[in-house]
Amino acid sequence: MLRTLESLGSLSGKRVVVRCDLNVPLKDGVITDDGRVRASLPTLNALLNAGARVVVISHLGRPKGAPDAQYSLAPVAQRLSELLGSPVTFASDTVGQGARDAVDGLADGQIALLENLRFNPGETSKDDAERRAFAEQLAAFGDAFVSDGFGVVHRKQASVYDLPQLLPSAAGTLIAEELDVLERLTAKPERPYAVVLGGSKVSDKLGVIGHLLPRVDALLIGGGMLFTFLAALGHKVGSSLLEEDQIDTVKKYLANAEELGVDILLPEDVVVAASFAADADHVVRDVDAIEDTPYGDKGIGLDIGPKTAAAFAERISASTTVFWNGPMGVFEFDAFAAGTKTVAEALTTVKGLSVVGGGDSAAAIRALGFSDDQFGHISTGGGASLEFLEGKRLPGLEVLGWQQ
């Protein structure tokens, strides 16, 4: 059984190391989406209100095991301070003198954030001893450990897997809530149940498709991955994103869905552009005429078309449980954001459970003007959520007592 905060007992006066997922997008040192920072607040506030001395640890980006200014958590410390309404001490290193001073300076109900964990090669090391040694240095900062970054629980890393074995450990509220929602999507979902998948590559979603097909009533396919499905049905797709090596696998899934009585909704029309650019000339074509444009076989599909968006929205609105992972098109370009926006609007009308999963989908809804509270749940899990839905083992959860 998953150990939760209550299992740690009274935390007043104790140092609690909290592994958050504060891996936010940055542009010129400015956070462009603070969703993951806000998602960490319930657990952090609970610990601070309990009188704990909170030491937050996280990674950001993919530095090469050494300090790199572009991946510093300094902007996150500032934003976290603003959201908490109280100072956040920022340590300039992970386990060095700066970190020791920051932790030693904490009083009850105060918080510090250590620098990017991945500035230390021990965090992601494949060598068990090196990883364990780094975890032991982190453990020296705490009397207890709370894991609250669902987006990393599929990683066998020092702060995720080794550290909770060295201190009394439990899951934070974010992980507990994420698990509850994911189990509702896999164990006994309320029906009708629709899954909407987008994003660029079908290969990223094959495990999810295979695991969920026997559990869903409808599977809606958009994004760049749709063109591999169309190619599997014999359509020409121009210069659109295509994974030819996955066509046979897609054919098997289409046949499997038919045997199971699962509806797979594929696009009827797509938005075809002259090039991959925000201001590219573009037209709408039915899927059997993608190359019947002024651009010929050079045309590239960048969004689902309006007929498809309307059909998807109708099916979503009629469902009681909906899981959506991956945008329907290149939503970063206004001209190719309509499909994603229509799907997002439809999710806000779901009477049961609507779940937005994956960083790109969460970023899309915020970029398109939606607020988090318009949806049942915004997942911060990313790849970890997908691996859960594939039925894979998650080492960062198993060390907290959870069993799938």
Residues 73 and 196 in one domain: no
Give the residue ranges of DSSP H helices in 233-283. Answer: 247-260
Q: Do 215 and 124 sit in the same domain of this protein?
A: no
Of 173, 191, 221, the domain-final residue: 173
Q: What is the pLDDT of residue 383?
A: 83
1, two tokens? 């059984």
Query: Which residue in 151, 359, 381, 382 is the catalytic one?
Result: 359
CB 205, CB 386: distance < 8 Å: yes
- Tell me the residue range of the domain where 224 lies: 181-389
Tens-place pLDDT, residues 180-196: 999 899 888 999 999 99
Confidence check: pLDDT of 69 > 90: yes
pLDDT in tens, 4-25: 999 999 999 999 999 999 999 9
Domain boundary among 173, 200, 230: 173
Q: Is 65 a catalytic residue?
A: no
Q: Residue 85: CB partners within 8 Å, gap ≥ 6?
A: none
Mean pLDDT of 333-362: 93
Amino acid 360: pLDDT? 81
Q: Point out the domain boundary residue: 173, 202, 230.
A: 173
Q: Let me know if residue 332 belongs to a domain.
A: yes
In a domain, 306, yes or no: yes
Determine whether the annotation assigns residue 154 to a binding site.
Answer: no
Q: Is 366 annotated as a binding residue?
A: no
Residue 38 is labelled as binding a ligand: no
> What does pLDDT average to over the chain?
95
Structurally, how many domains does the chain consist of? 2
Of the candidates 36, 79, 131, 285, the residue annotated as catalytic is: 36
Is 23 annotated to bind a ligand? Reply is yes
- Res 361: pLDDT: 87
- Whether the per-residue pLDDT at 386 is higher than 80: the answer is yes
pLDDT tens digits, one per residue of 316-330: 999 999 999 999 999
- Looking at the structure, do residues 223 and 159 belong to the same domain, yes or no? no
Q: Are residues 151 and 241 in the same domain?
A: no
The reply to whether 383 belongs to the active site is: yes
Is residue 393 part of the annotated active site? The answer reads: no
Residue range 247-257: mean pLDDT, rounded:
95
Confidence of residue 175 (pLDDT cuts 50, 70, 90): very high
pLDDT at residue 241, as a whole number: 95
* Domain shared by 223 and 371, yes or no: yes
184 is an active site residue: no
Is residue 402, in this structure, part of any structural domain at all?
no
Domain shared by 276 and 307, yes or no: yes
CATH code of the domain in which 51 resides: 3.40.50.1260
* 352-368: average pLDDT: 88
Mean pLDDT lowest among 22-36, 42-56, 102-116, 134-148: 22-36
Task: State whether 210 and 145 are in the same domain.
Answer: no
The CA radius of gyration of the chain, in Å to the nearest whole number, is 23
Joined tokens for residue 183: 């189990």
CB 222 within 8 A of CB 193: no
| Residue 266 and residue 379 share a domain | yes
The predicted model scores a pTM of 0.88
Say if 12 falls within a structural domain.
Answer: yes
Same domain, 108 and 187: no
Query: Which residue in the list 109, 210, 376, 383 is annotated as catalytic?
Result: 383
Confidence at residue 401, expressed as pLDDT on a 0 to 100 scale:
94
